Chains A and B, each alone.
Chain A
Amino acid sequence: MMKKAIVYINQFFGQIGGEDKADFEPVIKEGLVGPALEYQNQLGDEVKVTHTIICGDNYMGSHTEEAINTILGFLEDKEFDIFFAGPAFRAGRYGTACGHIGKAVQEKFNVPVITSMNDENPGVEMFRKDLYIFKGGASAASMRNDIKKMVDFGKKILNGEELLSAEEEGYFGRGVRKQIWLNPPVTAADRVMDMLLKKLNGEPFQTELPIPPQDKVPIAPPIKDLSKATIAIVTSGGIVPVDNPDRIQSASATRWGRYDISGLDRLEKGVFKTIHAGFDPAVANEDPNVIVPLDAMRAFEREGKIGKLHEYFYSTVGTGTTQGEAARMAREMIPYLKEANVDGVILIST
């Protein structure tokens, strides 16, 4: 069966007008307008561009939600297998518009969305994690070339062909790292040798694991009066009630739990244990307080060093757990801590 595509363009390329028409509200037209002709040309007989959507860049910028809802409404009764937006070249508002609508269409209709921008277009940084944004030219002079890259890739997706890395395909990396088998195969030993010789000889080399910018969290300002503060314990050391009621995984955890410790003076062995698979559990199982120092915190409470200990401790497992999952779990814990007016957290790793 023939596949169907829908194309999104702005008021200028949609032949509505220039800057003076930038507030143009979205419309959907059957058939091909402006760049859609070029898409159809390049898509050939396998894929038919059925509709062109046109929207003013300013309208999308100032009425983003309305514009998106209107366009999603247009699409509700349409059948389509792929959605193209742009190319937006270096036009910032156009790029941002392509990003907004592309993201919304992808989420709602679960079809591949492809756009194209120049690397100086601010839309790239805003949406590169969400969409396939191909590396495009600076101006409309590169229209044909940009559309060709988008269409070639779109056809690969529609035909179920193997998709190569961002660099090889020509889009801005989406921050998704996946293992691949090198073809032709080159062993790691050979790659190390090659990289080392280049580095030793002062020649350019390409690391296979670019170091991401460090996501350092600044140290929080000190609590002014600890004797009035509520302190909570959060641990990635896997301390849980022995039956592990939240079924937190022993490695690569995606779950966490919070456990009531009000009325307890210490964590008793046999009542709590660690399910963490990344260290020798013997000591922690014998005395869970070595990871969740309830005994020490109660002593501080009695001495008036801290105001009080929060009624729950929060626990997950850190081994093999990705930073992404860890950050998500933290975001899920935070509302509970805030609700209880927790002033400080002791974060215990193992």
Chain B
Amino acid sequence: MKLELGNFYVKDIVFGDKTSYSNGILTINKEEALKVVMEDEHITEADLYIVKPGDKVRLVPVKEAIEPRVRVNGGPVFPGVTGKLMQAGNGRTHALKDCSVLVVGKHWGGFQDGLIDMSGEGAKYTYYSQLKNIVLVADTDEDFEKHEQQKKNRALRWAGMRLAEYIGSCVKDLEPEKLETFELEPVIRRSKNVNDLPSVVLVLQFQSQMEELGYNDLVYGWDTNRMLPTYMHPNEILDGAVISGSFMPCSSKWSTYDIQNFPMIRRLYEEHGKTINFLGVITTNLNVAMDQKERAALFVAQMAKSLGADGAIVAEEGYGNPDADFIACIVALEDAGIKTVGLTPECTGRDGRSQPLVTVDPKADAIVSTGDVSQLIELPPMETVIGELQSLARDGLAGGWAVDEILGPSVREDGSIIMENNSMFCGDQVVGWSIKTVKEF
């Protein structure tokens, strides 16, 4: 399987007559773009903004981030989601780099939504403050979930994907500034040099905790709650086979942009043939029932062993209940003789004194920590808010609250905020970007 990613490095984004890309400038025809957004009759109103690093802008409730892309030989960017099913990870995809489409609720937020500050002290808490962003702010008629803490955000998330495809399509026929090639030989047909290196699998535990369909991550459009662990080519992950869901406290969530760019996969590719033999990805889930957790761990360990893995990396999307799957998977792999490293955020509580994972086991002796979801963050007012600031306090965002006797509400009258890291948009960057860790004080 050979994937060519053609990169176009966006230096600036402007609105203009024709959606186009030239010399680093991405121009968007706003009217036409909004028409694509409004194709779904459930979108009742929508607007677009451009925000850049350093802008005095706070975005909340942020629901999703997507990298604008186009499949050069035709087909949807997200097979089985935005179009027909087809193989992802093979062929040529063009991508607009250093920018993302951010989807923000005009009013209503939920448990899984997050906050982004584009400048100031708050900017360091999310990756997206470094990107130039095309912000879709919209409302929907999905009244059934307007006041629900758990939102599927279906119309908004799909609008974001359509918009990303529409914008991405402007580079379909252009020559990319850089072409990256991702290719792995079939596992049993690799050269002796590669075969002699320690072989490694990457185990990705995608979020799947909701029993009802519509909230979980999708693999080729299939709800991860309804799958058993399976073997995938890393190119599929990098090329739109998996999209983010709408569940989990936001900081530990993986956005679709995160998944499209998965730094841990890229890092393994860099080492492939040098220090390791990268066998591929075992895609698994984080269902809530104990037998489902145990079954998934059994499948993962068996697949890793059958593939001949010497080492494994296990990454969990989320924390809390999923810690049980995370530890179970690591233990199962270690018991199978596979040397395993875990990748996870932790939750030590506001005083930092709580057990960092819900479940622990001494066999999990090698873990990289990407941050602490529960730490309190206090930020001054921001000049411009896109979305609705009150959603952080009112709508049950995982790191916000309406009432607290000691701390007061998350959103104060002057526009300053106090929140838990939990609601920083994909802030723990478990996919591999995180330069945070947790240390004892």
Contact = CB atoms under 8 A, between A and B. Distances in A.
B313 interface: yes
A89 B398 CA distance: 46
Interface string A272-291: 00000111111000000000
B209 interface: yes
A119 to B, nearest CB: 15
Contacts of A195: 341, 366, 368
A336 interface: no
A211 interface: yes
B189 interface: no
Contact of B266 (A186, A189, A247): A189
B405 to A, nearest CB: 10
B211 A188 contact: no
A200 B320 contact: no
A174 B439 CA distance: 11
Interface string A184-204: 011111111101110111000
A180 B365 contact: no
Contacts of A196: 200, 276, 311, 313, 339, 341, 366
A212 interface: yes
Given A165-B440, A322-B348, A187 B396 contact: no
B403 A209 contact: no
Contact of A163 (B288, B401, B441): B441
Interface of A: 129, 163, 165-168, 173-182, 185-193, 195-197, 199-201, 205, 207-209, 211-212, 214-215, 247, 249-252, 277-282, 319-320, 322-325
Given A188-B370, A211-B361, A280-B210, A166 B440 contact: yes
Contact of A192 (B264, B420, B435): B264
Contacts of A277: 111, 149-150, 396, 398
B351 A324 contact: yes
A189 B440 contact: no
B320 A193 contact: no
A175 B430 CA distance: 24
B22 interface: no
Given A192-B267, A196-B311, A324-B351, A166 B441 contact: yes
Interface centre among B211, B275, B349, B350 (most CB of A within 10 A): B349
Given A179-B421, A188-B343, A193-B268, 17 more contacts: A174-B440, A174-B441, A176-B353, A177-B441, A188-B264, A196-B366, A200-B339, A208-B438, A209-B342, A212-B355, A252-B399, A279-B288, A280-B150, A280-B210, A320-B347, A323-B354, A324-B353
Interface centre among A173, A174, A320 (most CB of B within 10 A): A320
Contacts of B150: 277, 280-281
Interface of B: 111, 124, 149-150, 198, 200, 209-212, 215, 249, 263-264, 266-268, 271, 275-276, 288, 310-311, 313, 319-321, 339-344, 346-358, 360-362, 364-375, 396, 398-399, 401, 403, 420-422, 429-430, 432-441
A175 B353 contact: yes
B271 A193 contact: yes
A111 B313 CA distance: 45
Contacts of B249: 251, 320
A280 B374 contact: no
B356 A252 contact: no
Contact of A282 (B212, B311, B373, B421): B212
Contacts of A187: 263, 267, 432-435
Contacts of A324: 349, 351, 353-355
B420 A252 contact: yes
A192 B313 contact: yes
A211 B362 contact: yes
Given A163-B441, A188-B430, A180 B436 contact: yes
A165 B432 contact: no
Contacts of A189: 263-264, 266-267, 432-433
Contact of B355 (A129, A197, A282, A323): A323
17 contacts: A129-B353, A173-B440, A175-B440, A176-B351, A176-B440, A177-B438, A178-B441, A187-B435, A188-B368, A188-B433, A197-B276, A200-B339, A208-B438, A209-B346, A209-B438, A211-B361, A320-B373
Interface centre among A168, A182, A195 (most CB of B within 10 A): A195
A167 B438 CA distance: 12
Contact of A179 (B364, B372, B422): B372
A192 B343 contact: yes
Given A179-B375, A188-B433, A320-B422, A209 B439 contact: no
Interface centre among A163, A173, A208 (most CB of B within 10 A): A208
B366 A199 contact: yes
Contacts of A167: 439-440
Contact of A190 (B267, B342, B349, B365): B267
Contacts of A176: 348, 351-353, 440-441
A125 to B, nearest CB: 15
Contact of A320 (B215, B342, B370, B374): B374
B368 A208 contact: yes
Contacts of A282: 212
A208 B353 contact: no
Nearest to B437: A208
A185 B356 contact: no
A167 B365 CA distance: 19
A249 B402 CA distance: 10
Given A163-B441, A174-B441, A188-B434, A208 B367 contact: yes
A192 B421 CA distance: 23
Given A200-B310, A214-B360, A320-B398, A179 B438 contact: yes
A165 B436 CA distance: 13
B236 to A, nearest CB: 19
A243 to B, nearest CB: 14
Given A319-B320, A320-B373, A179 B436 contact: yes
Given A320-B249, A320-B373, A192 B432 contact: yes
A322 B311 CA distance: 31
Given A193-B271, A199-B339, A200-B311, A252 B374 contact: yes
A197 B310 CA distance: 11
A316 to B, nearest CB: 14
A214 B360 CA distance: 7
A191 B440 contact: no
A192 B396 CA distance: 33
